[in-house]
Amino acid sequence: MVDNTNILPNPDSSMKKKEVKSTFYEYTSLSELSQKQQQLVQEASKASSNAYVPYSKFHVGAAILLENGQIICANNQENSAFPSGLCAERTAVFYANSQYPNTPILTLAVTAEKDGSPVKYPIPPCGACLQVLLESEKRHQTPMEIILYATDKIYIADSVEQFLPYGFTSLNLKGS
């Protein structure tokens, strides 16, 4: 039996319970999306085919729409020293922010395939990618729409904060 007395809140304390809610929109067909969203999904899908994934064989593509209308595409890049690889989302964001440092990212679309076939269920960005996406969103003070495409479902979030409501930001570095 585990003793939970030290981790359970004191009922007499001034502790407040806070609930965090995330909102995603779910679609079942690419045709339900806007033309621009469909284009981004198709570009991300094309980018995934060029992924360098000799180890996992898990192809991920990302396409970013910048505020200036430019579309940036990228894919995951693996390395035999596994921590040295890079996800498609970070590859795209780092390129976009290096080439267009003052231009906000409006939308990011992510697709994936395994064994030559698109995945059935959307894959979310990993924790490291979410942190980078949040930094970019905060940097430009513009919400970033996230589209996660798969054959059976499509999820859309209107900002990175839907995934990472308590993300580490520059305010944390200031001690604020």
Which active-site residues does the annotation give?
A: 89
Size of the chain, expressed as the number of residues it contains: 176
Start-to-end CA span in the chain (Å): 40
Q: Within 10 Å of residue 141's Cβ, how many Cβ atoms?
A: 7
Contact between 126 and 112 (Cβ < 8 Å): no
Residues β-bridged to residue 72: 64
